[in-house]
A = this chain, B = another copy of it.
């Protein structure tokens, strides 16, 4: 009974997600779902990215406050904040509703900043083209091993706050080894949203993925 209910919820979510994805693809909008724990630097990364690419929109999920939307509104007017209350992840219907407030004809990229949570958002398709999982050096080198689900499901894994590496106990070889063991083919990038280290590689990855999924390059 309980399992059936959960399956129905996921099935309904998948159907809406497929509609979202079709709408994004038809409009030539490449959509990224960015997932990571609270404080890993998702908002800072999107801010740094918006300063390097034009024509981008953001849908940002949080339990409460408009703070992230306010931060990103400095760089684009296509921003929608979703407050989930006690909800621990975004679902496809959130994104569908938020899309009605975004002019898809004016953007090439859409970033969905999921609720800060390494666990629950992973299982919900939102209609994105790619999922990007984010860790940080300050979160400890054991977090990939402890969160295998996000490592399996991500198209790209980011390790942020690489600038703080010398101040924290974090063994890069351990982290990389855990990722490789869990997902031998996933791409990895190390960067600092704060200092800008690695951001060019990240932007290049986005652009290349957009070409793959949408069929043409954006004007970067």
Contact surface of A with B, Cβ cutoff 8 Å: 1-2, 5, 37-40, 62-65, 67, 86, 88, 115-120, 122-123, 136, 138-140, 142-143, 145-149, 161, 164, 167-169, 194
Contacts and interface: CB of A to CB of B under 8 A. Distances in A.
Would you list the 7 A-B pairs with minimal beta carbon distance, nearest first?
A39-B139, A138-B138, A37-B38, A88-B119, A39-B140, A88-B120, A38-B118
Q: Which of A1, A63, A123, A161 has the most CB of B within 10 A?
A: A63
Given A37-B37, A38-B143, A119-B120, 15 more contacts: A37-B39, A38-B139, A39-B138, A39-B139, A63-B119, A63-B146, A64-B147, A67-B142, A86-B122, A86-B123, A88-B88, A115-B119, A116-B146, A117-B117, A164-B168
B118 A65 contact: no
A161 B138 contact: yes
Contacts of A146: 38, 62-65, 67, 116
Contacts of A138: 39, 136, 138-139, 161, 164, 168
12 contacts: A37-B38, A38-B139, A63-B119, A63-B147, A63-B148, A65-B142, A67-B145, A67-B146, A86-B123, A138-B168, A164-B164, A167-B167
A84 to B, nearest CB: 9
Contacts of A119: 63, 86, 88, 115, 117, 120
A48 to B, nearest CB: 13
Nearest to A120: B88
Contacts of A117: 88, 117-120
Nearest to A169: B194
A64 B146 CA distance: 5
Most B C-beta atoms less than 10 A away, residue of A122, A147, A194: A147
A86 B88 CA distance: 14
A122 to B, nearest CB: 8
Nearest to A87: B119
Contacts of A38: 37, 118, 139-140, 143, 146-147
